[in-house]
Structure 1
Amino acid sequence: MRTTLGGHDDVPGFAAAYREQSERFPGPPAGWQPVHTVYVPAGAFGPGTAREWGDAALVLLERHLPAASLAEVFGLPRDLAADIRDRVARKLAAEPVEDLRVDFEDGYGVRPDAEEDAHAVAAAESVAAAHGDGTLPRRWGPRVKSFADGDPGRSLRTLDLFLTGVVDRAGGLPPGFTVTFPKVLMEAYLRQFADRLAAIEAGLALGGGALRFEMQVEAPQTVLFLQRSPDLVASLGGRLAAAHFGVFDYTAACGLPPAEQRLDHPVCDHAREVMRTTLAGTGVELSDGSLAAAPASDATADVHALWRAHATTVRHSLRNGFHQGWDMHPSHLVSRYATVYAFHLATYAPYAARVAAWQARSEAGGGVLDEPATVKTLTAALHRAESALDGTEPDDTGL
């Protein structure tokens, strides 16, 4: 057969471009991702914190949410209500917290150095104790103070005391560690923090890359440098594990009044879209923010009102492809798990049918003609659903 080009494999510059693609875009996050992160002020954290949150949530579930009420509170089909309530109760009893941060930042405040030192050491002791008795959440770590506060030494001293204490007491670094780095107003702070992590890692004789961190996107300045830094993730040497959106700092920085500082405000949607597009394919996980509210009282009406408000924010995140968020109060565990389970149960069967039809090269129900990219997304959604519903950690999230 006659062709025009002499060598189709001879594309000048292709090898270098493909190598750069592989470095910058290794693919989506692999494996299990928690559905939430629980934040606990360092002064209130102890080895039994996760269990205490679960017990408090179970009390609320039993007191305020019989199966007959669940469908009405969360707007769910009645045929799913009993199953979802049972799943929530079992989750709260077995693993109430999937990801936990010992907070030394906004939830903790500015305290005398000696007090923060003591809390860092005590937190390390509590982590080691929880690890020893098997109650340490699958993901865990501290949230340290921001470099933007002008005192990186305080942030790093707390992290050093915490990590050194954990390693000394636990005989190594328990799996699941990450540290949250907040209020990243300057891109340079990320590289400086990654460099210090490498130094602590070497000093503690941990394996290369053992210490990873998540950045918080809490200011317009952060959104701007994300947009103009296409090689940011690669430049951090694999240490950036996740990006978490901070709704209240972000909306305040945008000048929104308190009543508009909410997760579903358009300015938040814009910030999340920047996070999504600039971090797509880099292997960095994405997490949404929180609802800063607790039940106004122990009255059932007030508890239900909180659950409805929280469920609305969780659904907004899920519909927009953000499958993780922050939980700030034990009551949030009930609405978090109920909403996540309902979301996945409602879509699992139709998604599975579409994947099966595509694999069989037949037409899906309703005349849907799926493209390979859509089927890959459907398959990833099924893996994520199985992980959330069964607590498993899938080996991959694609075809």
Structure 2
Amino acid sequence: MTSLAGAVSEEISASLVPVDAELERRYPGDPGTRQPVHTVYVPGDDFTADTLRTWGDRALTALDEHAPDAASFAAVLGLSDGLAEPVYSRVRAKLEREPIEDLRVDFEDGYGPRPDAEEDETAARAARLIAEAYAKGTAAPYMGIRMKCMEAPVRDRGIRTLDIFLTGLMEAGGLPDGLVLTLPKVTYAEQVTAMVRLLEAFEKAWGLTPGRIGFEIQIETSQSILAADGTATVARMIDAAEGRATGLHYGTFDYSACLGVSAAYQASDHPAADHAKAIMQVAAAGTGVRVSDGSTNVLPVGTTEKVHDAWRLHYGLTRRALARAYYQGWDMHPGHIPTRYAAVFAFYREGYEQAAARLARYASRAGGDVMDEPATAKALSGYLLRGLDCGALDIDEVTRATTGLTRTELEGFAAPRRADLTISGQ
């Protein structure tokens, strides 16, 4: 027996139609694509056709010199005996096969002010080299540029560089699927809107599908976190991107300096950094926009002792970020790549069996010592998929550990319908 007439439900549903549409527009969920574990920035004039391989070779050389085997590498990082060999062998294999997952040719701080003719040529060369890399199958999964920002002194220069770069890609055959653009030093949401209008104009000029080109927003100023009226600026920036924002990247040193943090204490684990990234994370949740941690400027160079100290620092910061659900960060030197992958691989390998067992029990409706829900199944499957994407895990071992779940089934759990989460969630 019920007490309410059917018309009541119909009226309530009708009143919430705008809200339903707003939820779908603003919170579409994760895009379900691969997220790189890091971004490497290379100054525009340093970028060559051999950059990816050169970074991989330099990283391998660092391992050969300072940790030539699994035991020595594990001793530096504090890896368990069970993880030492699997992590070390996978790190070396990764450096040989795919040393960089995401590369940004830098025309901002890493490049600086140059004569216009020089930057024009560098931007055109970057487009040519990236197009050739994708054509030859030697590109990183994600590649693109960081232009100059939308502030008045460099705005025209940044727009011109982006135009030259994108035009060069189009003339070379079109925009690659892995194209990523980064807009730095964003302070006001209106600067994001300006970037949207710029990309709209380019798409129209070339007859591209509207919305084809997305971009990352770099968070490097206090104003990008908290506006003058006390609201969260970064949330307004995501909205201002009109669906084009793909990521929020935290800029460790610009942001720290903006807040007056002394140089010796500027780091991604500073309380100011934690506050900024927490705001970014909440603002981006459910929007499909991904959050990236920053970097460390302590380089693994010099004596073996100094290299080991820098490796331990970088490994610890990366593991800390992963535990806080920042699955991507910046790497500034080839010597950082071994510990980036070591941290990522250890993070997924040490927990995948438990995650797989929990997901298998959930999928088969079997009981256990933990009662999981659709939201938890989403997190478990997402964890396994990220491990697969970066090379920490193999699909065969994941399938065995989940008692037969395929990648397609994992992806289904990772992207449940909103209604499924709402009905069963707490």
- Greater relative contact order (Cα 8 A, min sep 6): structure 1 or 2? 1
Per-residue deviation, residues 331-376 of structure 1 (Å, max 9, x unmatched): 1110000110000001100111112223333333xx3333432232
* Aligned residues with identical type, % of pairs: 42
Paired residue for 1:9? 10
Paired residue for 1:280? 285
Within 2, Cα distance between the matches of 1:82 and 1:390?
A: 14
Larger CA deviation: 194-203 vs 387-396 = 387-396
- Whether 1:250 and 2:255 are equivalent positions in the alignment is yes
CA deviation after TM superposition for structure 1 residue 166, in Å: 2.2
> In the alignment, is the contact (CA less than 8 A) between 2:32 and 2:415 conserved in 1?
no
Within 1, Cα distance between the matches of 2:301 and 2:235?
A: 44
Paired residue for 2:163? 160
> In the alignment, is the contact (CA less than 8 A) between 2:30 and 2:415 conserved in 1?
no
Equivalence map 1:35-184=2 (5 Å): 35-65=37-67, 66-148=69-151, 150-168=153-171, 170-184=172-186
Per-residue deviation, residues 127-164 of structure 1 (Å, max 9, x unmatched): 12222322111111000111125331100101111111
Within 2, Cα distance between the matches of 1:271 and 1:247?
A: 10
Paired residue for 1:206? 208
Count of aligned pairs: 395
Within 2, Cα distance between the matches of 1:102 and 1:218?
A: 18
> In the alignment, is the contact (CA less than 8 A) between 1:43 and 1:108 conserved in 2?
yes
Within 2, Cα distance between the matches of 1:229 and 1:35?
A: 22
SS at match of 2:160: helix
Paired residue for 1:223? 225
- Whether 1:322 and 2:326 are equivalent positions in the alignment is yes
Within 2, Cα distance between the matches of 1:293 and 1:162?
A: 32
> In the alignment, is the contact (CA less than 8 A) between 1:24 and 1:233 conserved in 2?
no
- RMSD, aligned CA: 2.0
TM-score (norm 2): 0.88
Amino acid in the other structure paired with 1:10: E
- Whether 1:333 and 2:366 are equivalent positions in the alignment is no
- Whether 1:379 and 2:381 are equivalent positions in the alignment is yes
Amino acid in the other structure paired with 2:79: L
5+ residue gaps, structure 2:
396-406, 417-426
Within 1, Cα distance between the matches of 2:394 and 2:124?
A: 31
> In the alignment, is the contact (CA less than 8 A) between 1:181 and 1:216 conserved in 2?
yes
CA deviation after TM superposition for structure 1 residue 108, in Å: 0.9
Larger CA deviation: 220-229 vs 10-19 = 220-229
> In the alignment, is the contact (CA less than 8 A) between 2:314 and 2:336 conserved in 1?
yes
SS at match of 1:224: coil
Amino acid in the other structure paired with 2:243: G
CA deviation after TM superposition for structure 1 residue 59, in Å: 1.1
Any runs of at least 4 consecutive aligned residues in structure 1 with deviations exceeding 6 A, and if so which?
A: 391-394
Within 2, Cα distance between the matches of 1:79 and 1:42?
A: 42
CA deviation after TM superposition for structure 1 residue 31, in Å: 1.7
Within 2, Cα distance between the matches of 1:113 and 1:374?
A: 52
Paired residue for 1:398? 415
Q: Which residue, 365, 381, 387 being the options, matches 1:361?
A: 365
Paired residue for 1:187? 189
Within 2, Cα distance between the matches of 1:189 and 1:381?
A: 34
Per-residue deviation, residues 209-259 of structure 1 (Å, max 9, x unmatched): 221110001111001257257565344232111111111111111111111
Amino acid in the other structure paired with 2:114: R
Larger CA deviation: 189-198 vs 367-376 = 367-376
SS at match of 2:291: strand
> In the alignment, is the contact (CA less than 8 A) between 1:377 and 1:398 conserved in 2?
no
SS at match of 2:111: coil
CA deviation after TM superposition for structure 1 residue 88, in Å: 0.6
> In the alignment, is the contact (CA less than 8 A) between 1:29 and 1:285 conserved in 2?
no
Paired residue for 1:28? 30
1:307–1:24: structure 2 CA closer, same or farther, 3 Å change rule? Answer: same
TM-score (norm 1): 0.94
SS at match of 1:68: helix
